Structure 1
Amino acid sequence: MNSMNRELFNELSLLFEKNGFSLFLVGGAVRDFLLKKENNDFDFVSDALPNDIKKFFPDGNYSFEKFGSCKIPFHNNIIDIVTLRKEEYDNLFRTPQKIIYTNSLYEDSLRRDFTINALYMDKNNKIYDFHNGINDLNNKLIKTIGDPNIRFKEDPLRMLRCIRFSLSLNFKIDQETEKAIFNNLDLLKKISYQLIFLEINKMKQYNNFIKIKEYFKLENYIYLKQIKRKMDVIDLHADTITKCFNNNEHLFNNDLHVDIQKLYKGEYLLQCLAIFLNKKDDIKQKFKEYYEFFMKEYQKNQNTLILVKNYDDFLSIKKENKIGILLSIEEGDILDNDLSNLDYLYSLGIRMITLSWNYDNCLCNQLGLTPFGKEVVKKMNHLGMIIDVSHANDKVFFDVINCSTKPVIASHSNCRNICNVKRNLSDEMLKKLVENGGLIGINLYKNFVGENLIDHFLHLKKLGYLNHVGLGTDFDGIDNPVCVNNASEIGKLSTLLKENGFNENEIRKIFYQNFQMVIKNILK
């Protein structure tokens, strides 16, 4: 634990004590502290209930209060705190049937998976070890707390976590624990493949993965070759990078519309992530901050993500059982009247640019594309970058269509005929977009949807444009998206389309096939 995190822990502990409660660091952070390994992923437990914490942290996120969990803002960090508890499993399968809050660290420790992860530490570095976890750390041994057969029946995914820890820490698995894994591997067939692949992809980065996979004969119990998605999903636009950065969240798991776990659950093939830039800010500095944040998050999650820079990268997504990320920028003023800036952004992996965000800039204004904007369109065609005309005014739209020799997209726009707002595309604009070979990504923002989301799809179908329609949810750039709450629920839209007369082939085109063709035609 570095000095900055130590200071944060001390100050937060004192604040809890001042309000009559205790605070402890628990789990992997304590384990890695004892192993002298860096770990900035902290889990805290307290005898305070979320309702107690709310009194001295009124600005926290208490949406999971009923589960004894909350998130509090503290010195530009979002801190997860869980109330000490006991758990009872009536059916012995994954979800506890009953949660009982307690003041006892020991009782809380009994619900944890492995002895080395059931270590608690207070602000004075005092370690609380109820299951000989320190001894197991010294002996480089992974052992469950209690009967391993029961622990694996409670949550079969613990078997894969056990194997992963043995790889990441280079520890042996305790004999009884290993025996229980062999006895219970069949339970993995009951776990969703999304959760399975999150664990498997984490394992793949370690040298001994193949050896240990064969040792436990994992392929007899889980399908390792390719994710069997019911319906692949590509989303053309989400503002998750900016939202994560501003909210001190992480890409793997957060309270936003999009994170890696939600993308797996939603069966995503590719998520286009926009770096949104506001002209009122120092956009070059903001871009630097957002981009560096994303790359740190990406490097932490390379076992589950592929940054798509060309069509071969796209084809690798399924082969490697990962999720693709296509980086875009939402505000062309970042180019600052200098074409070399476009080369620089391309070198960083940016493959899509939304030319403007509602205001005039160096690329476009109320009269249409500027001379520099026309140069940018031509150079993006040459480099193999996707041009996005969402937020552009009508004159800019038609100028881009006339100037571009490659397909153009409106990544998150709807039909003006259905919802008459300027941000949506008129039928004339749709006709030109189709003639260009581009596509429109349907936005879930209620002010652009109007009365009925499906009406936009039906209108496009009536016009004969279904080969030019995709999804552009605008997740994390809007509040309360229509139809779904977050990326994990995108399948609800597939069901809704079926109920309104769309067949499987039409839905596949909308969900991923149409944009796949755009990627194939543009990215080099």
Structure 2
Amino acid sequence: MEKPFIIDAHLDLSMNAMEWNRDLRISIDELNGREAGMTDKPDRGNATVTFDELRKGNIGLVVATQIARNVRPGSPLPGWLSPEQAWAQTQGQLAWYKAMEEDGHLRMICSRKELEEHLAQWQAGNRTIGYLLSLEGADSLVNLSYVERAYRYGLRAIGPGHYGPGRYANGTDSSGKLNADGVALLQEMERLNMILDATHLNDDAFWDALNRYKGNIWASHNNCRRFVDHNRQYSDDMIKALLERNAVIGVALDAWMMVPGWVRGRSTPDAMNCTMEIMANNIDHICQLAGNTDHAAIGSDLDGAFGREQCPCDLETIADMQKVFPMLRNRGYSDEDLQKIAHGNWLRFMRNALPE
């Protein structure tokens, strides 16, 4: 089988451009060379994602994020000190996406028609990368009226929580169900037929959201608690609940989510034997729980505030995601199975969830 077409359901492209000051139009070697000696971010000089590397990996469609957390003064988490500041940051990120569209590198996908047009153009050799816009953490929505405002400019998915306490939902390393604003957020999302991204919701909020939300649900970038026992990952019961909702789960490539005992800033991929086989393990586990290959997919999260220092040691750039498919074939997965995991499952979901 030739390199399968890949859909990656979670990339923080605009965060890298706006907060890391990375120009994703240049080569990966030039990008990392520019960062030699820089220490302001832990992953300087270790980036894996550029537009060229996406094209090399036949990754022609991505879910790209806006992200801006609102935090209280003194919070250990980075973020903006008011929702209005966070909103302004997301609008700067949106402006960057639009600039990349004008420069011919990106194409926003808002509807089924646009999705099909993009797929046809990619197959015909046009290497403009398609993207669906997602909001990772809802803190930047100043109030509920901003949901429809964002929908109008192309936002199609929202993950209500991120890390710690949030304005609408509490995320990773926190507890508690949705608050009143979070419940109202889900109602507004359901009215607009938006996609709920269950990623990052803590266990209480996860079950609360699944019980309340009647629309389409996916998990853009989540691994299995079976392998790393931490609340950032999904338990088998959570995975099974998502399967019952016909969700798709994207497997991520952040090493601390892949191997137990990872210590940020100290552990290394080589020493921890973190390889792409672990990605295959997570995909396989989801498939075994499902009894089919209809729900596992890719949501790499590459360069989501980490780089080669914290991803599989046999991955140099995002193009190396192609390595997982021979690994899965060696475990008995057919070409049809691999096509589903590479892109087919996300496509089925998007075709059902996007407006006509």
Query: Is the shorter-chain TM-score for this pair beyond 0.5, marking a shared fold?
Result: yes
Aligned-partner Cα distance in 2 for 1:444–1:361: 25
Aligned-partner Cα distance in 1 for 2:343–2:61: 9
- Does the 8 Å CA contact 2:294/2:340 hold for their aligned counterparts? yes
Q: What is the match of residue 285 of structure 1?
A: 88
Distance 1:421-1:240 versus aligned 2 partners, 3 A rule: same
Indicate the structure with greater helix content: 1
- Does the 8 Å CA contact 1:229/1:267 hold for their aligned counterparts? no
Indicate the structure with greater strand content: 1
Find out whether 1:462 has 2:281 as its counterpart.
no
- Does the 8 Å CA contact 2:176/2:202 hold for their aligned counterparts? no
- Does the 8 Å CA contact 2:251/2:298 hold for their aligned counterparts? yes
| SS of residue paired to 2:130 | strand
Find out whether 1:359 has 2:164 as its counterpart.
yes
Aligned-partner Cα distance in 2 for 1:253–1:514: 31
| SS of residue paired to 1:328 | strand
Q: What is the match of residue 196 of structure 2?
A: 387
Q: Which moved more, 1:388-397 or 1:287-296?
A: 287-296
| SS of residue paired to 2:4 | coil
Q: What is the match of residue 324 of structure 1?
A: 130
- Does the 8 Å CA contact 1:406/1:436 hold for their aligned counterparts? no
Find out whether 1:348 has 2:153 as its counterpart.
yes
Q: What is the match of residue 514 of structure 1?
A: 345
Q: Identity over the aligned pairs, expressed in percent?
A: 25
Find out whether 1:402 has 2:199 as its counterpart.
no
- Does the 8 Å CA contact 2:157/2:197 hold for their aligned counterparts? yes
Q: How far 1:230 moved relative to its partner?
A: 3.7
Q: What is the match of residue 226 of structure 2?
A: 417
Q: What is the match of residue 453 of structure 1?
A: 279
The 5 A counterparts of 1:252-267 are 252-254=25-27, 255=31, 256-267=47-58
- Does the 8 Å CA contact 1:240/1:475 hold for their aligned counterparts? no
| SS of residue paired to 1:325 | strand
Aligned-partner Cα distance in 1 for 2:257–2:14: 23
Aligned-partner Cα distance in 2 for 1:350–1:259: 22
Q: Deviations over 1:396-454 (max 9, x none)?
A: 11111111212311111101012211100000100110101112110111111126332
| SS of residue paired to 1:397 | helix
TM-score, with normalisation over the residues of structure 2?
A: 0.78
Q: How far 1:229 moved relative to its partner?
A: 6.8
The 5 A counterparts of 1:16-415 are 230-254=3-27, 255=31, 256-279=47-70, 280-281=79-80, 282-301=85-104, 304-321=105-122, 322-336=128-142, 338-365=143-170, 366-415=175-224
Aligned-partner Cα distance in 2 for 1:465–1:364: 32
Equivalent residue letter for 1:445 = D
- Does the 8 Å CA contact 2:69/2:139 hold for their aligned counterparts? no
Alignment length (residue pairs):
294
- Does the 8 Å CA contact 2:283/2:297 hold for their aligned counterparts? no
Q: How far 1:240 moved relative to its partner?
A: 2.0
Q: What is the match of residue 333 of structure 2?
A: 502
The runs of at least 4 aligned residues of structure 1 exceeding 6 Å deviation read none
- Larger of the two Rg values belongs to structure: 1
Q: How far 1:518 moved relative to its partner?
A: 1.4
Find out whether 1:476 has 2:297 as its counterpart.
no
- Does the 8 Å CA contact 1:251/1:297 hold for their aligned counterparts? no
Aligned-partner Cα distance in 1 for 2:219–2:55: 25
Q: How far 1:460 moved relative to its partner?
A: 1.7
- Does the 8 Å CA contact 1:328/1:350 hold for their aligned counterparts? yes
Aligned-partner Cα distance in 1 for 2:248–2:16: 26
Cα-Cα RMSD: 1.9
Aligned-partner Cα distance in 1 for 2:140–2:130: 25
| SS of residue paired to 2:218 | strand
Q: How far 1:250 moved relative to its partner?
A: 2.4
Q: How far 1:253 moved relative to its partner?
A: 2.6
Equivalent residue letter for 1:264 = R
Equivalent residue letter for 2:348 = M
Q: Deviations over 1:302-328 (max 9, x none)?
A: xx5321001111111122234211111
Aligned-partner Cα distance in 2 for 1:437–1:399: 17
- Does the 8 Å CA contact 1:387/1:409 hold for their aligned counterparts? yes
Q: Which moved more, 1:423-432 or 1:305-314?
A: 305-314
Q: Deviations over 1:366-406 (max 9, x none)?
A: 32112221222232233232211211101111111111212
- Does the 8 Å CA contact 1:484/1:493 hold for their aligned counterparts? no
Q: How far 1:474 moved relative to its partner?
A: 0.4
Q: How far 1:332 moved relative to its partner?
A: 0.5
Aligned-partner Cα distance in 1 for 2:106–2:96: 15
Gaps of 5+ in 1: 1-227
Aligned-partner Cα distance in 1 for 2:21–2:165: 31
Find out whether 1:430 has 2:256 as its counterpart.
no
Q: Deviations over 1:197-254 (max 9, x none)?
A: xxxxxxxxxxxxxxxxxxxxxxxxxxxxxxx974110001011211122333323234
- Does the 8 Å CA contact 2:221/2:300 hold for their aligned counterparts? yes
Does 1 or 2 have the higher relative contact order (CA < 8 Å, sep 6+)? 2
- Does the 8 Å CA contact 1:238/1:475 hold for their aligned counterparts? yes
Aligned-partner Cα distance in 1 for 2:205–2:352: 23
TM-score, with normalisation over the residues of structure 1?
A: 0.54
Q: How far 1:466 moved relative to its partner?
A: 2.5
- Does the 8 Å CA contact 1:363/1:370 hold for their aligned counterparts? yes
| SS of residue paired to 1:501 | coil
